Amino acid sequence: MKRSLSMALVLCLFLAAMPAIGIDGYPKTIVDSSNRSIIFDNPAERIVPIVAWSYEPLYILGAQDKIVGVEKGSKAQYAYLPGIEDRPVVGTYREPDYEKIIELKPDLVIVQPKYLAQVDEKLTPLGINVVCLPFNQQSAFDGELCTLADILGPEEKERAQEFISWKKGTLDSLKKDVDKIDASSRIRVYGEWSDTPWYTGSKLSGLDDVITLAGGDNIAGPLNPEENLSLRYPTVDPEWVLKENPQAIIFPAFDYFTGYLQQDANNATQLIQQAKVREGLNKTDAVRNDRLYVLDAYLVEAVRGFIGAQYLARLFYPEEMADLDPEAVHKEYYESWLHVAYQGLWTYPEAG
């Protein structure tokens, strides 16, 4: 009898302990974008995103309340997102404030590859999980979103699948139209970051992703023939651009020119006017035919790259893409996934 009671007691204790030893899928091992394996004993509840591109994914997954500290530039960029202004600053993505991060006791810090080693060295020995999820390539985004959702829990995993399905639907419509464009008619495009002359994007860059999705040929794509991550962002010469003679030029730009809080196109207009007279650009077909465009950088190098591609497709092929409505997709994204009212200046000239 005593043996039966003892066995029953052990069984009860075992059942009571089951959630802690794996009934909810934890401990769980995830593999991040730097191919590192990280073990989570429990779902992440306190998050410090150092990567600017990781804020929107967290809001998409409904995990915004788990953000306990914000990167300085992201706090300014995302001031319109509920809760961001109330969160303490944890330094910049280049120079994190480690003392502040440690004080906040996060169980997840999100970093990008370039700064992974230094953050990992400071925080991992303290038991803080450092995960590399850059969210800056369209081809890798879905997998990274699922990885983040896997860290957070089952509700977030379901939300991730819903978003990916919705996003795929919009991209399927775009691809259907782009596939109708003859290869010989694809527009040749040069992209340059608005704050750094001659700094472009080759293969594996977000810039190349959106140009290609939009049905354009990125003239800088071949500069990274082996698809080396370290060669994604080359600096080119004016003579090279003139020789390649792009038919369209796009400038991914930040808040001074575009964005959620931008109300007029004065700065974007000035950027284009200055570009038209620059040596290396002024004699290209793009300038001759007045095909210079400003596109918000968050529609290029982030989750919204798939929407940026739709804006570009409309700008590149206004007749062929007359039925494409990137503004409607963008509005639905803001209101259904970020849960904030849609506004802002996102392209100049406006697409459509």
pLDDT tens-place values along the chain, 352 residues long: 444 434 434 434 443 444 444 447 889 999 999 999 999 999 999 999 999 999 999 999 999 999 999 999 999 999 999 999 999 999 999 999 999 999 999 999 999 999 999 999 999 999 999 999 999 999 999 999 999 999 999 999 999 999 999 999 999 999 999 999 999 999 999 999 998 999 999 999 999 999 999 999 999 999 999 999 889 999 999 999 999 999 999 999 988 899 999 989 999 999 999 999 999 999 999 999 999 999 999 999 889 999 999 999 999 999 999 999 999 999 999 999 999 999 999 999 988 6
Q: How many helices (H) and strands (E) does the chain have?
A: 13, 10
3-state secondary structure string across 292-338: EEEEEHHHCCCCCHHHHHHHHHHHHCCCCCCCCCHHHHHHHHHHHHH
Residues 6+ apart with CB under 8 A from 101: 48, 69, 90, 91, 109, 123, 128
Tokens of 110: 């999100």
Please give, one letter per residue, the 3-state secondary structure of 157-176.
HHHHHHHHHHHHHHHHHHHH
**Confidence (pLDDT) at 352:** 62
Exposed/middle/buried for 175, CB within 10 Å: 0-12, 13-18, 19+?
A: middle
pLDDT of residue 195: 87
Query: CA 234, CA 291: separation in Å to the nearest integer?
Result: 23
CA–CA gap between residue 202 and residue 225 (Å, rounded)? 9
Specify the residue for token string 């120079």: 95
Pairing of strands 217-218, 248-253: unpaired
Phi-psi category of residue 127: left, alpha or beta, with phi > 0 → left and psi -120 to 50 → alpha = left
According to DSSP, the residues that pair with 132 across neighbouring strands are 111
Nearest to 222 by CA among 139, 214, 206, 231: 231
Cα dihedral: 5, 8, 12, 15 (round 10): 160
Are 30 and 131 within 8 A, CB to CB? yes
Residue 278 CA to its chain's centroid (Å): 30
Phi-psi region of 257 (alpha: psi -120 to 50; beta: other; left: phi over 0): alpha
Q: Report which residue type is found at 296.
A: D
Q: Give the integer Cα–Cα distance in Å for 56 and 297.
A: 14
User: In 3D, which of 273, 153, 140, 266 has the Cα closest to residue 209?
Assistant: 140
* Residue 250, strand partner residues: 191, 293
Extract the tokens encoding 273: 């006017």
Distance in angstroms (rounded) separating the CA atoms of residues 312 and 294: 10
Q: For residue 248, give the H/E element and its range.
A: strand 248-253
